[in-house]
Structure 1
Amino acid sequence: MAESAVGGIGAGGSPTLKSIQVLRAVAAIGVLTLHAATEKVTHMGGAPGPFKNFLLGAAGVDLFFVISGFVMVYSSESLFGRRDGPQRFFLRRLARIAPLYWAVTVVIILYIYAVHGRVLWDIYTPGSLIASFLFWPYPRVDGFAFPVHLLGWTLNYEMFFYAVFALAILLPRRIAVPAVCLAFLAIVAIGRATVLPLPFLFWANLIILEFCYGMLIALAYREGLRLPPAAAWALGIAAVAGYASMYSPPEAWGEWRVLFWGLPSAALVAACALSDSTWHPGPAGRFFGLLGDASYSLYLVHPLTFPLVRWTIGRWFDFSGAPWLYAAIAWASAVAASIVCYRMFERPITRALQRWLRERQRPPAPSRSAPG
């Protein structure tokens, strides 16, 4: 999702960024695996098995948010304290997030129309459809502030974070990061002290503090803090233990997932980002790096691949006797589709837009006076 699922960390990046790429892949695979297991139960029946409360599934969102906070600070080093920093930052993020999300949203609307013969006005309103494209939390007919693409709720948080962060970029890094953290703490405190209307109720969720975890880790990184390998490994093991200790689904904790899954996610990001060791990825690491690149596509596109598997392979093979085979094929199909989407749509569109923005934001060359 976000620089989590939405950032761009090139394959030639530093070891720190390569390790963050792997975490993005882990987060996206977790969400995919949870949804593949849910898809299996919904359409093939049977028990969810070991994936009933697949931890890195739902917790992948929390990991995404922490990674996003880290990467925004890390990658914006040249923008802090600049007058044009907010505009440059926000336009870059919009160019990174919007095209694929808008395209997938249009596909979902067309899918709904093709299956039901109409737009489901008993669920959506014209306002909620428009708000889905604007990353704006807006209630549907049932009162829930979900966009057309249900996973887009996370991008609504991402865009809110980007807007606040863009304003803070006017300040030096050492001031900007604490300023955003204090602003988010104030927003959360107001939200817990009074009943806010939408969209403020949505934005005041404790989960926004997970962006602060990542920002503070990046601030520590930029200030030169490094962990010896043994300490990084210990922190990573503690993070995994933290995930493993939380067997209840996130609904059982409500907003307190910011502690139960947010803190292990922060520990995992800190272990990877602050480690003083050099990482040399093998074939598996390079594959996870590719999935990290494609994690935004994987996050947004994988729900579309599930019905395609049912409609195509399901015509020739009865999955009712092998529901886990269906889940495995759906999982693999989503991974393959995301890589194709990344290489054929997301990457070229993003590069073209970023190139256009660089040309547009480049200062004009000084004019030369004609010789007198």
Structure 2
Amino acid sequence: MLAAKKHAGGTTAGKFELIQVLRFIAALAVVVCHSAFYSKERLDSGTISYNLGANGVPLFFVISGFVMMIAAEKMHNADGAWKLFAIRRIVRIVPLYWFATSVKLFTLLAAAGLVLHAQVDWLYIVKSYFFVPDINVDNEIKPLLAVGWTLLFEMFFYAIFTLALLVRVDAVKFTAPILGALAVASIFKSDTWNVVLAFYADPIVLNFLWGMLAARLMQRGVLIERSVAVLILLFSLCYLFFPRFPEYGNVITYGLASFLSVYCCASLEKAIKFTMPRVLVFLGAASYSIYLFHPLTAPAVPEVFKRLGIIYSVPSVVGSIFVALCAGAFMYRFVESPLTDRLNRYVKQYFNSSTDFKKQMKSFE
């Protein structure tokens, strides 16, 4: 039985280092999954797939729901808070995504032979930049930067969350019916549906809700007892990422395992005072850059191996992972972090120019 206890008071919007480490685990799983795919597609068709790496996505979504609830904990009753929330989300997501998409576009225009699963279609490209779902050359609903399909869901979730802040309705109560309705609608989906509706009608959206519920439990001081949390965390991560034959699970079970992983990590961090290795926290912070740029860097390894006549899948996959992590860490340190910091300073200056808004924001900044 799930052992839980209620602690006096709620939680504060502090930093959860274990959640950062979970971010890195999620990003690493996706990188491993795709690195195996790149080797299989470009170098050795006998490369073993790692399909469970795709479970990094539901874990990312649950973390996103959790973090948004924690970050906006004191915003719900502040005038104009929705504006600050929306702009911060745009600053966090859009510039780096546009940069990565532009790199992919320039590569496609300059050396089309190096880019698979893409073609020049300017309407489709514009939609890709502005998070509008559309069908790509492979008849899949994905943007030009294919991994950006997850960001279409992220931005949709942020829009709903922002609307909840605007109308001052509890975020869980506001988003749950919308996300639930989309999950149910997925049962009746057909090929005749509008592309946008067909894309968002997916039970994967429930992962944002699971993350919000994990945060709500934290805010109410309900934690899982530490020894139970450790066991559940280990089981959940193994279920998400440890290879097994046959593979079993679905979007709901993987979402619940992701929920338990996040909730257990948050419970442990509140119950035990410890410091995670700095390198893991750094890589967790860099997970967005790692995720966005690994499709632009990791495929280079099997391409080089192929041209050198080195048809060995394992070194190719390991090399792709190494290159992806190094490139992502570099982009975070020298592009994402300074760019985001500068843009946030501009945002702060803009809002501080309004005396009334400045007074309102002091309550939760």
Which TM-score tier does this pair reach, normalised by the shorter chain?
0.7 to 0.9
- Per mean C-alpha deviation after superposition, the further-off stretch among 81-90 and 343-352 is 81-90
Alignment of 1:171-186 (within 5 A): 175-186=170-181
> Residues 48 and 181 from structure 1, CA distance in 2 versus in 1: closer, same or farther, beyond 3 angstroms?
same
Q: Give the secondary-structure state (helix, strand or coil) at the position aligned to 1:47.
A: coil
8 A Cα contact 2:107 2:115, kept in partner: no
Superimposed CA distance per residue, residues 7-28 of structure 1 (whole angstroms, 9 cap, x where no aligned partner): xxxxxx95x6101000000000
**Cα deviation, residue 59, structure 1:** 0.3
Amino acid at match of 2:173: P
Which residues of structure 1 form unaligned runs of 5+? 1-12, 367-372
The answer to whether 1:61 aligns with 2:81 is no
Q: 2:297 aligns with which of 286, 302, 305?
A: 305
Partner of 1:29: 28
Task: Give the whole-Å Cα distance in 2 for the aligned partners of 1:94 and 1:217.
Answer: 24
Amino acid at match of 1:186: A
> Residues 121 and 130 from structure 1, CA distance in 2 versus in 1: closer, same or farther, beyond 3 angstroms?
farther
Task: Give the whole-Å Cα distance in 2 for the aligned partners of 1:233 and 1:62.
Answer: 20
Q: 1:328 aligns with which of 273, 297, 318?
A: 318
What is the aligned-residue identity percentage? Answer: 31
Partner of 1:273: 266
**Cα deviation, residue 160, structure 1:** 0.4
Partner of 2:6: none
Which residues of structure 2 form unaligned runs of 5+? 1-12, 357-365
8 A Cα contact 1:139 1:146, kept in partner: yes
8 A Cα contact 2:43 2:302, kept in partner: no
Q: Give the secondary-structure state (helix, strand or coil) at the position aligned to 2:328.
A: helix
8 A Cα contact 2:184 2:203, kept in partner: no
8 A Cα contact 1:125 1:141, kept in partner: no
Amino acid at match of 1:64: F
Cα RMSD for the two superposed structures: 2.8
- Per mean C-alpha deviation after superposition, the further-off stretch among 30-39 and 212-221 is 30-39
Superimposed CA distance per residue, residues 187-220 of structure 1 (whole angstroms, 9 cap, x where no aligned partner): 3334434653121111111100000000000011
Q: Give the secondary-structure state (helix, strand or coil) at the position aligned to 1:273.
A: helix
Superimposed CA distance per residue, residues 56-95 of structure 1 (whole angstroms, 9 cap, x where no aligned partner): x100001000000000101112321233122211111111
The answer to whether 1:111 aligns with 2:107 is yes
Q: Give the secondary-structure state (helix, strand or coil) at the position aligned to 1:151.
A: helix
The answer to whether 1:70 aligns with 2:66 is yes
8 A Cα contact 1:40 1:327, kept in partner: yes
8 A Cα contact 1:209 1:258, kept in partner: no
Task: Give the whole-Å Cα distance in 2 for the aligned partners of 1:234 and 1:344.
Answer: 38
Q: Give the secondary-structure state (helix, strand or coil) at the position aligned to 1:82.
A: coil
Partner of 1:137: 133
TM-score, structure 1 normalization: 0.83
Task: Give the whole-Å Cα distance in 1 for the aligned partners of 2:226 and 2:113.
Answer: 58
- Aligned residues between the structures: 340
- Per mean C-alpha deviation after superposition, the further-off stretch among 90-99 and 73-82 is 73-82
Superimposed CA distance per residue, residues 233-272 of structure 1 (whole angstroms, 9 cap, x where no aligned partner): 13213313533487567xx97xxx3213111111111110
